[in-house]
Amino acid sequence: MAQKPAAMAAKKLSSCNLTAALRQEQDAGAALLLFLNPPNATPSSPFRHCLRCYDLIIISKLASARLFQDMESILSRLPPTDASHDPGPRENLLCRVVSAYGRTRLPAAACRAFAHPAFPEPRTAHALNTLLHALLDCRSPLRDLLAVCRDAGIPANASTYNILMRAAAASGSLEHTRNLFDEMLSLGIAPTVETFGTLVAALCDAGQLEEAFEVKEAMVRQHDVPPNAHVYTSLVKGLCQRGEVDAAVRLKDEMVHKAELLQNSAVYGALVRALFRAGRRGEADGLLEELKVRGIVPHRDRVVYNAMVAGLCEDERDPSAAFAVLDDMQKCGCKPTAVTYSMLVAGLCKLGRWQDAIELVKDMPKRGCTPDVVTSRMLFDGLCAAGEFHEANTVLGDMVVMGFAPSKDGARKFVEGIEKEGDAVLLESVLCRLAKMNVLESSGWERAVSGVLNDPAELRIEKQLASIRSA
């Protein structure tokens, strides 16, 4: 691919032709070379790139490849603008640059891009909101977002407040979320359904369900904004967490008359888990059938099926019902994920069927799903809880190959279990392996070494651990 610019040297390219060539070029480095050295460019007749060329090379190529240093260099080449140019397209480019930095968790770079002199002043609310979104993606604290708003000096709109409220809610501050909502109203900015969704979710998370329902009523009566699926889901989850399952079911039924809301299966997932906890498994089965009857079999997501699997693994002494749900998932075109398998593994281990759990994890790649770190830890912890430490050691070896490590708590329990068994050979191997993985505190090493080993083995392990620490 890198030879393409040389091969095109004899061709006369227009800006439109170059745009097409950049779009087709998959290699970011080759695209950059073509952009910098168009075939028909000469010192006396430099090539004039159109804004679309910059857009393609900066966003579609360099940003996607995370070649940010090259991207900054290209940004500096953007020609200055004047009053005769429409600032809209260039601002759109600015927003895409800022968003690219947000996606890669680079908040300082996003702020620098927002202030880049290549983009025309003044900044608009659209550009400001793009930066706030990027900072929110970077999990920047609310105070940073508020500082950006203050320094930008741009009048806020509903989208601005929606982002700030989401940041406040994410920080766990219901007070700040409410204050921002009140400030929004005082400025005469009409709240949107997203505004209400954020406030309702924050109230539900704080356990203030009565006030959350008051907000739901107010958004309809006072603001003529109908609740969306997010609002209903927050309320249903809040009721389920309180154990008010009947009220949650009635709220779900309220959605039946709003077909577009039923496409969101998160409500059904929350209800399934609550019904299992209340010992009402039959009704949980009925919810899944209701989804199918309404033609909303959740093939796009796995929320309801995973909730069924989790409930059955917790409720059943025989996991065959959970495996039946797994088969039903696949028949409906809903591919199980590692989360689904992790719940099955945990359920099997809880029942003492650790051999079945091992076989299930081995069989996952054949089912089109690779074990992840959570699945591996579930199996490892389950084997330790069952006292099957040699099997757990085998799983630990597989985890090392896949680049996974047990949790520090799991590693501690593993070592403590082997200590109790007094297996010096296994303990020696395990301590050295865990030391290399840096998942066992030094106190764990010292206690294990001094607790059960004979002197020769103890000295050998101490030397191995010392070499690992020094490395």
Per-residue pLDDT reduced to its tens digit, 161-207: 999 999 999 999 999 999 999 999 999 999 999 999 999 999 999 99
Going by pLDDT thresholds of 50, 70 and 90, the confidence category of residue 156 is very high
Burial pattern 134-170, b for ≥16 Cβ within 10 A else e, equals bbbbbebebeebbebbeebebebbbbbbbbbbbbbbe
Per-residue model confidence (pLDDT) at position 1:
43
Interatomic CA distance for residues 449 and 455, integer angstroms: 9
Phi, psi of 333 (to 5 degrees): 80, 15
> What is the DSSP secondary structure assignment for residue 190, as one 8-state letter?
P
pLDDT for 44 equals: 59
Distance of alpha carbon 241 from its chain centroid, rounded? 23
pLDDT of residue 428: 80
pTM here is 0.75
pLDDT digits (tens, 9 = 90+) for 372-383: 999 999 999 999
Q: pLDDT tens for residues 63-90?
A: 888 888 888 888 877 776 654 454 557 7
Whether residue 128 contacts residue 149, with contact meaning beta carbons closer than 8 Å, is answered with yes
Tell me whether residue 231 is exposed, middle or buried, using C-beta atoms within 10 angstroms of its C-beta: 0 to 12, 13 to 18, 19 or more.
buried
CA distance 426 to 56: 57
What was the pLDDT predicted at 235? 94
263-320 per-position pLDDT tens digit: 667 788 889 889 988 888 888 888 888 877 776 655 556 888 888 888 888 766 678 8
Residue 441: what pLDDT? 64
pLDDT of residue 297: 58
**Higher local confidence (pLDDT), 122 or 232:** 232
What does the mean pLDDT of the chain come to? 82
What percent of the chain lies above the pLDDT cut of 70? 82
d(CA 22, CA 337): 37
CB-CB contact of 399 with 430 (8 Å):
no
- Contacts of residue 305, defined as CB under 8 A and 6 or more positions apart, other chains included, come to 288, 298, 325, 328, 329, 334, 336, 340
Cβ atoms of residues 21 and 34 within 8 Å: yes
Q: How far apart, in whole angstroms, are the C-alpha atoms of residue 53 and residue 62?
A: 12
